[in-house]
Amino acid sequence: MKSVYYHLGGPKMKLALVSDIHERNMKKVTGILRENDPDIICVAGDIMHKMHHDRLTQGVLDTFRAFADTADTYFSLGNHEKELGERSLAQISKTGTKVLDNRWVSLGEHVFLGGMSSTGYENPDGIRRPHFSDFLDSFTSLSGYRILMCHHPEYYEWYPIIKSADLVLSGHAHGGQWRFFGRGVYAPGQGLWPKYTKGVYDGRLVVSAGCSNSTTPVPRLFNPSEVVFVSLDEQNPLVKT
Asked if 153 and 162 count as a contact pair (C-beta separation under 8 A), the reply is no
Element (H, E) at 2: strand 2-8
Looking at residue 133, what is its pLDDT?
A: 84
More confident residue, 241 or 15: 15
Longest alpha-carbon distance in the chain: 51
Where is average pLDDT lowest: 80-84, 91-95, 155-159, 208-212? 80-84
Report the DSSP beta bridge partners of residue 15.
40, 230
CATH number at residue 184: 3.60.21.10
Comparing C-alpha atoms, which of 153, 135, 134 is closest to residue 45?
A: 153
Comparing C-alpha atoms, which of 152, 155, 150 is closest to residue 167?
A: 150
3-class SS letters over 105-122: EEEECCEEEEECCCCCEE
Pairing state of beta strands 2-8 and 239-240? antiparallel
Rounded CA-CA distance 149/117 in Å is 9
217 cis-preceded (ω within 30 degrees of 0): yes
Asked if 175 and 223 count as a contact pair (C-beta separation under 8 A), the reply is yes
Average pLDDT over residues 151-155: 95
Please give the DSSP secondary-structure letter assigned to residue 206.
E
Rounded CA-CA distance 61/73 in Å is 13
Output b/e per residue, 157-184; b: 16+ Cβ within 10 A: eebeebebbbbbbbbbbbbbbbbeeeeb
Looking at residue 106, what is its pLDDT?
A: 98
The count of structural domains within the chain is: 1
Looking at residue 224, what is its pLDDT?
A: 96
Rounded CA-CA distance 221/177 in Å is 7
Rounded CA-CA distance 62/196 in Å is 31
What are 34-65's pLDDT values in tens digits? Answer: 999 999 999 999 999 876 566 789 999 999 99
67: domain range?
2-240
What is the value of pTM for the model shown? 0.92
Q: Output the DSSP codes for 16-57.
A: EEE---TTSSHHHHHHHHHHH--SEEEEES--SSS--SS---
Residue 123 pLDDT more than 70? no
C-alpha Rg value of the chain to the nearest Å: 17
Average pLDDT over residues 213-234: 89
Residue 175 pLDDT more than 70? yes
